[in-house]
Structure 1
Amino acid sequence: MKQRNVSIRGARTNNLRDVDLDIPRNRLVVLVGVSGSGKSSLVFDTIAAEAGYQLNETFPPFARNRLPKWTRPDVEHIEGLTPVIVIDQRRIGGNTRSTVGTITDAWTYLRLLFSRLGQPHVGESNRFSFNDPAGMCPTCSGLGEVVVSAVERFLDLDRSLAQGAIRLPGFGTGNYWYAQYADIGVFDADTPLRQWSPSEREALLYGGQAAAGLGRKPPRGYEGIVERFERIYLHTSDNLSERKQGVIRQFTRARTCPECAGDRLNKAARTATVLDHTIGEMSRLEINELVRLVRTITSVRVAPVVTALTARLEAMSTIGLGYLTLSRATTTLSGGESQRIKTVKHLGSSLTEMTYVVDEPTVGLHPTDVESVIKLLERLRDSGNNVLVVEHDPAVMAHADQIIEVGPGAGAAGGQLVFQGTFAQLREADTPTGRALAQHRPAKLTPRPATGSLTVADVSRNNLRHVTVRFPTGVMTVLTGVAGSGKSSLADELAAQHQATVIDQKPVSTNRRSTPITYTGIAPAIRRLFARHNQVPAGLFSANSDGACPDCAGLGVIHTDLAFMDGQEIVCETCHGRRFTPEVLAHTVNGLSIADVDDLTVDQAMAQLPDAGISHALRQLGAVGLGYLRLGQSLSTLSGGECQRVKIAKELRQAEQPTTYVLDEPTTGLHPNDIDTLLHVLDSLVDQGHTVVVIEHNLDVIRQADWLIDLGPGPGRHGGTILFEGHVADYTSRATPTCQALTHGGPAAAARPR
């Protein structure tokens, strides 16, 4: 008899508390709950992990060693599992050679097309690959860009050499390289560079003929600053240290390759055309436009190629990525874009009875774009698959066949099944999500007055063309618009022109030793507290240093390599997972050892650790709703939303002078109940004199903005225009996506019965 459910009994992974649950198969099931409630522990760390583990066990040992490793969950019994496919939010990896075309295989089909139909004939498909020596541009090695010195950043013209006019490291007063310019009798070391003649500044930077023409002959072998910098930092084959890489990032910029103009290909590949377009020109067309062009190819010789390429391009259009181009680097994609790219290869799959586990697929999407994601999820379900979605968006909940809520709280206060049923039933339920669905935040009627403004002038970046925008200071501005409309490009320009601090979606470092307190910089203060109270060196209280258990090196666990079998990780028998030597654990503060402190939650530590500095720093973690985290909890166990808030807490702790903050979708991973906590944090920043600019799609956050800037109307070349600047309450009766969403959207609208 066919198993109709996925049956789970006694799930105890992470914070789950003996959860018993039956999940219907071949349905769209949405899991909800506050951040940290245990949703991910149930879906990813229990269901997906057990399915992955059991599937791997069917392969021989040699193959298993090359498959992704799954840690078997703490659960008494699971049955009814099918092979699992996890589609998470992690940005697509790869380097600058990875593009939308290469990651989706669309570029492979396009290369094949040009190798068969291109005129003049160039050769096989590898001749159109920028990752193959046969096809790559020799000047940029297939990158499309070359790194050049940002010479305009080298000098501070308002200072003299003696005052540090040369900004490059190692050129300060008294250093060796400084002496090569200030002490050679050619330049005036005490006069600000702005008062030098243009030829003197040219000689300082470039040497050569400019230096020879000064009349004061420089010493033999004289190098200009630019030549010296490029020799040391750019023209070297040595492995560069992190410090040198930082210097390169600071004092260089990428410039389009002068030979291939960004096409990445050599001259022969750039000459071939199909339908009067080179392959580079096709790669720069928006996917929606490219698919229309490809459909016009009628040659029977390449009919299978055209069919495959068209199907791949249409799939990207279907999931709302038609505004991208195949030449777009994957490193520039947002988390939401990366996630949807990953789904492309599954849309045409003929496999059934798979379990798709999808993590917040609406991240990075404007409310008007959510419908396309819902259709995608329903399409996967209707193909005979199980679809499990972790989501906070009410619009997705409204289309679920069943909703499961985990909670009621976060961390130790969560991990229980608090609701299972339909969306209509959830709206009536007395649960955190049920109550949140009943809330509706009106637009702010009395916006705070600005203290000034920051102007970003004549911006031409990506799809922005000569855009000028004024950002009011001392208030909260929300930048919104459909995905791909130009929000991030405008925010990047604001950060570049006005030295704003950016809190973006890049992942928090999640190595096994990284914890909330080490990442936010609180750990040294805790070690000093123990050192003061016990009159011993602070290094004893570091699990990475003197006081670490010698057998597990301060990890608390021992990893055993079992060759072709999965490695085994067990609790260290010497320290029993406490990570420190007995001598270190004997030192206490208020009866707590350093290991006991690791087990405290943020809220408990604020009450029990007698140090005002530590309490002040921990308050920032509590302020962003992370008071339930244990101080020693590995960041690798945190959800995406929790990691994002740890990063915000770190920035809040360092905020002293008035600063401009740019936050990239801070509601990522947040339950509707947590929006009030986030808004309170943002309001606190503004109250302290900071300027806050938020890129956001969440309508509740948009409604609380003091100032709104809306871009669009569409993505890519259909966007890049400022549609509105002003107070949210004044944004009415406009036929724009955001205005329509504000007028007709939100949780109340999304919660309408189906």
Structure 2
Amino acid sequence: MTDDARPAAASAPSPDSHDVLRVVGARENNLKNVTVDIPKRRLTVFTGVSGSGKSSLVFATIANESQRLINETYPTFVQQFMGQLSRPEVDALENISPAIVVDQERMGANARSTVGTATDVHAMLRILFSRLGQPHVGSPQAFSFNVPSVSGAGAITIATGSGAGRKERRSFEITGGMCPHCEGLGTASDLDLDALLDKTKSLAQGAILVPGYTVDGWMVRAYTESGFLDPDKPIQDFTEQERADFLYKEPTKVRIQSINMTYEGLVPKITKSMLQKDRDGLQPHVRAFVDAAVTFMPCPECGGTRLNEGARSSRIGGVNIADAAAMQISDLAAWLATVDDPEVAPLMAGLRDTVGSFLDIGLGYLSLDRASGSLSGGESQRIKMIRHVGSPLTDITYVFDEPTAGLHPHDIQRMNALLQQLRDKGNTVLVVEHKPEVIEIADHIIDLGPGAGRHGGEVRYTGDVAGLRRSDTITGRHLDDRARLKPSTRIATRSLPIRGATQHNLKAVDVDIPLGILTVVTGVAGSGKSSLIHGNVPAFDDVVVVDQTPIKGSRRSSPATYTGLLDTIRAAFAKANGVKPALFSANSAGACPACRGLGVIITTLGFTQTVETLCELCQGTGFSDEVLEYTLDGKNIAEVLALSASEALEFFPKGPAALTLARMVDVGIGYITLGQALNTLSGGERQRLKLAISMAKKGAVYVLDEPTTGLHLADIDNMLGMLDRLVEAGNSVIVIEHHQAVMAHGDWIIDLGPGAGHDGGRVVFEGTPADLVAAGGTLTATHLAAYVAG
């Protein structure tokens, strides 16, 4: 730590005080025995280049241990149903308060989850309509699309005073608001059986074309060994009964190889496993199959509202609950202001406050019926914030992961106000962030580095913003960086014509997107940028889309497996040593027999947490001793997978591996090791990994969705250089972006607005960045002008 980086007394209380959270000897991931004091009830921003150890300190150490200790206070019976957290690698954590993590993980991909249900606003609306709606149709559950309307009779147990009970048959009635036709999903689906089956084949020959239904797998064996069907008969030759049993049979118990299983027709089975799940939450190959095999349309009975006729018939001032849920939230707030009845005064106060939080947080363009799985990572994080803004809890530690992700510069000021509001209520607010606008409002800053990966993991500075500027750290040196407008811009070679675009809030947009240059699409969150680009551009040929959809990754997945590098590396080892490639996979023949390739031994202690310990046999490599004896240019397979992408590029200076590694370095993740577990990468790192493997195609149209997400100020120049190289190689690049440095560097800007939701959806400017600054008149122009002038 530099001399001028010593914290001021006001921002670093005595370590003996309860006003400081103290971390002692943190070694999680790349942290190098970090000891640091964090002031409580202050706003602390953690800075440093991507991979410097910020998340390892804040999330994997502080937040993880706080949540683990809270979980331990519950009875062991309760703990078995909770996510098990392992103790982080740290000597001590002192004066921890309960932590609430507000991250960018997308909200649960549940087809029944909406913005309204995820924030409890819909629950409050249901109470409101059950009180004031006319005609009166019942309790709040009568307005719930997740509660069916059923009645019947059944046996129930009635408790008696002696502790025993007696069974009685009683009638029951559940009066919910679910549409009976679509079962509350709002959509009806039509399955194309020709996409499900090859009717010329038998089940044993692979007639079922659904992903995951392999001939020798359990999914197909439930049909071939059920006794209902002839597995060797072509589907087209099935009798009427066989066809009905195969496609539509109700769940029936069967016994297959001494195992009790449930047999169910293929159509209802697929409907439950794929069609009743949120499309955005499906794996890419499954989503592609669903898109090809299924036609979705609004439910003809409820019109897509999910609600039955009774729920839709009850109104307040001419508005039913489906109308309210479909309103843009800014319009909903205006409607709620007209509802004035003393009977629901306390409810209305809470409802208006919560809806007002949507506006404060910049999400007024959403509607309550929006599927939660369709929200971006930034939108999901801000939705989660709404739960806490009005909370009466104090002395909580709130942990945020880049809360400005997806925000236009115009909206960052409102986000800052919310962070300060949480702090002023007496909470400790910890923020991992790169944006200078957020760093500027920090009470305390902790900068990690100096580099990334094994070159990071150290505290380089603690103190205030003024001290950070004076410090000789990467963050301090780049805090005031500003990109300049380009003196000249490229000229488009051709264009993609978009005509009459009406997706979501777009208002019949006509625009020509220039090709052969770097085009930046701008506008406030909700203005229609993603609707315009993702809703229209992929329909053209040779379009490569790298969006914000997170890649799937388990502890057995790594950058080497995801990029295909491992296949090349295994082949090289096999050729050099005259053995089979499978020997060099920790997921296959080369796995350590003790840990089965995981590198750790996982022990489950009954109902309590699982404990992970380093595998002593393989010392964490995941490979058997036999495999580690084979080498390639002096290194064994474990040593090669421990190389960073930059180091591996020196080890593999040519060939297909070098091309992939060079692209990883190009997009700013050269510090990531080849064998690092994929689920340990941040959202920004995963997106750049996707970008690296997508860059192989030449002469293509690349669509990038906020590629600066998770990038340090010092890395922005590298990203701009990479975009230039893509264009200079003969590609076209379309970037949806909020960062002013990317706007200033573009050849052409398409600005949408003027506002969000129904206040947006129009192209308000087309031209060069210099022309935008000169013309003014839009929010983007105002902030870009201030940026380049600063």
Alignment TM class, shorter chain as reference:
0.7 to 0.9
Secondary structure at the counterpart of residue 536 of structure 2 = helix
- In structure 1, give the amino acid aligned to 2:25: G
Match of 2:465 in 1: 423
Distance 2:584 2:266 in 1: 43
Aligned-residue offset at 1:171: 7.6
Q: Which moved more, 1:5-14 or 1:329-338?
A: 5-14
- The equivalent residue for 2:49 is 34
Query: Partners in 2 of 1:656 and 1:560 — Cα distance?
Result: 45
What's the RMSD between the two structures over aligned residues? 2.7
| Matched letter for residue 42 of structure 1 | L
Q: How does 1:263-662 map to 2 (within 5 A)?
A: 263-499=305-541, 500-609=543-652, 612-652=655-695, 655-662=696-703
Candidates 73, 81, 89, aligned match of 1:74: 89
Q: Structure 1: any 5+ residue segments left out of the alignment? A: 155-167, 178-218, 224-229, 750-754
Contact 2:565 2:660 in 1 (8 A): yes
8 Å CA contact 2:407–2:525 kept in 1: the answer is yes
* Alpha-carbon distance, 1:170 to partner: 7.5
Matched length: 685
Q: Deviations over 1:719-741 (max 9, x none)?
A: 00101111111112322100000
1:128 maps onto 2:170 in alignment = no
What is the CA deviation profile of residues 231-288 of structure 1, one whole-angstrom value per residue up to 9, with x for unaligned ones?
Answer: 9999812347987763331354432222211211111111110121011111111222
Q: For residues 338 and 432 of structure 2, what CA distance do their matches in structure 1 show?
A: 40
Kindly state the Cα deviation for residue 369 of structure 1 after the two structures are TM-superposed: 0.4
Asked whether the equivalents of residues 495 and 501 of structure 1 are also in contact (C-alpha less than 8 Å), the reply is no
Work out the CA distance in 2 between the residues paired with 1:623 and 1:339. 29
Question: How far, CA to CA, are the matches of 1:456 and 1:598 in structure 2?
Answer: 46
Does the 8 Å contact 1:510/1:635 carry over to 2?
yes
> Could you tell me which amino acid in structure 2 is paired with residue 684 of structure 1?
R
Change over 3 Å in CA distance of 1:459–1:238 after alignment to 2? same
Residues 1:7 and 1:485: Cα distance change in structure 2 (over 3 Å): same
C-alpha displacement at 1:222, in angstroms?
A: 14
Counterpart selection for 1:708 from 742, 749, 752: 749
Q: Is the 8 A contact 2:25 2:92 kept in 1?
A: yes
Partner of 1:146: 188
Amino acid at match of 2:765: F
Which of 664, 670, 678 matches 2:705? Answer: 664
Q: Which amino acid aligns with 2:675?
A: G
Structure 1 position 16, deviation (Å): 1.3
Question: Counterpart amino acid of 1:366?
Answer: H
* Contact 2:538–2:545 (8 Å) recurs in 1: no
Q: What pairs up with 1:233-252 in 2 under 5 angstroms? A: 236-239=267-270, 246-252=288-294
Which of 115, 127, 133 is the aligned partner of 1:118? 133
- Alpha-carbon distance, 1:150 to partner: 9.2
- Once residues 686 and 286 of structure 2 are traced to their aligned partners in structure 1, the CA distance between those partners, rounded to angstroms, is 28
Q: How many Å apart are 1:458 and its aligned residue?
A: 0.7
Deviations 1:676-723 (A, max 9, x none): 111122112112221111110000011111111000111100000101
* Mapped partners of 1:611, 1:422: distance in 2: 46
Identity %: 46
C-alpha contact 2:315 2:321 (8 A) present in aligned 1: yes
What displacement does 1:522 show?
Answer: 1.0
* 2:55 is the counterpart of 1:13: no
Which residue does the alignment assign to 1:208? Answer: none
- Contact 1:34–1:671 (CA<8 Å) still a contact in 2? yes
Q: Does 1:687 align with 2:720?
A: no
Q: Structure 1 counterpart of 2:269, which letter?
A: D
| Contact 2:482/2:787 (8 A) holds in 1 | no
Using the alignment, how far apart are the partners of 1:602 and 1:290 within structure 2?
50
TM-score with structure 1 length normalisation?
Answer: 0.86
Mark the CA change 1:570 to 1:244 in structure 2 (over 3 Å): closer, same or farther.
closer
* Alpha carbons of structure 1 residues 610 and 648: separation in structure 2 relative to 1, 3 Å: closer
Match of 1:44 among 41, 55, 59: 59
| More divergent stretch after superposition (368-377 vs 119-128) | 119-128
Please give the secondary structure, in 2, of the residue aligned with 1:544. Answer: coil
Aligned partner letter, 1:250: A
- Structure 1 pair 450–171 and aligned structure 2 pair: CA distance change class (3 A): farther
Q: CA deviation at 1:175?
A: 8.4
After superposition, the C-alpha distances for 1:19-55 in whole angstroms (9 at most, x for unaligned) are 2211111111111111001111111112112222222
Supply the distance in 2 between the matched residues of 1:669 and 1:2 (Cα, whole angstroms): 34
What is the letter of the counterpart of residue 530 of structure 1? Answer: F
Q: Distance in 2 between matches of 1:600 and 1:33?
A: 22
Deviation larger for 300-309 or 416-425: 300-309
Q: Say which is worse superposed, 492-501 or 333-342, in terms of deviation.
A: 492-501
Distance in 1 (CA, whole Å) between partners of 2:708 and 2:76 is 43
Instruction: Name the SS for the 1:238 alignment partner.
Output: helix
Secondary structure, aligned partner of 1:36: coil
Question: Counterpart amino acid of 2:661?
Answer: L
Deviation of residue 494 (structure 1)?
2.6
**Residues 496 and 137 of structure 1, relative CA distance in 2, 3 Å threshold:** farther
CA distance in 2 between counterparts of 1:234 and 1:372 reads 52
Q: Give SS of 2:387's match.
A: helix
Is the Cα–Cα contact under 8 Å of residues 329 and 366 in structure 2 kept in the other structure? yes
Give me the whole-angstrom Cα distance separating, in 1, the residues matched to 2:339 and 2:599.
62
1:126 shift after superposition: 1.2
Letter in 2 for 1:470: D
Query: Which runs of structure 2 are paired with 1:90-101 in the superposition (5 Å)?
Result: 90-101=105-116
Match of 1:213 in 2: none
Output the CA distance in 2 between the equivalents of 1:220 and 1:492: 43
Pairwise CA distance, 1:413:
1.2
Cα distance between partner residues in 1 of 2:675 and 2:86: 21
1:610 positional shift: 6.8
Deviation digits for residues 516-542 of structure 1, max 9, x if unmatched?
Answer: 111111111111111111111111111
Whole-angstrom CA distance in 2 between matches of 1:170 and 1:238 = 14
Secondary structure of 2:345's partner? helix
In 2 relative to 1, CA 247–50 (structure 1 residues): closer, same or farther, beyond 3 Å? closer
**Structure-2 residue corresponding to 1:193:** none
Query: In the TM superposition, what are the counterparts of 1:160-239 in structure 2 within 5 Å?
Result: 236-239=267-270
Output the CA distance in 1 between the equivalents of 2:684 and 2:415.
20
The letter of the residue matching 2:558 is T
CA contact (8 A) 2:596 2:622 kept: yes
TM-superposition CA deviations, 1:191-229 (whole Å, max 9, x none): xxxxxxxxxxxxxxxxxxxxxxxxxxxx99999xxxxxx
Deviation of 1:469 after TM superposition, in Å, equals: 1.2
Change (3 A) 1:665 1:231: farther
Mapped contact 2:146–2:178 kept (Cα < 8 A): yes
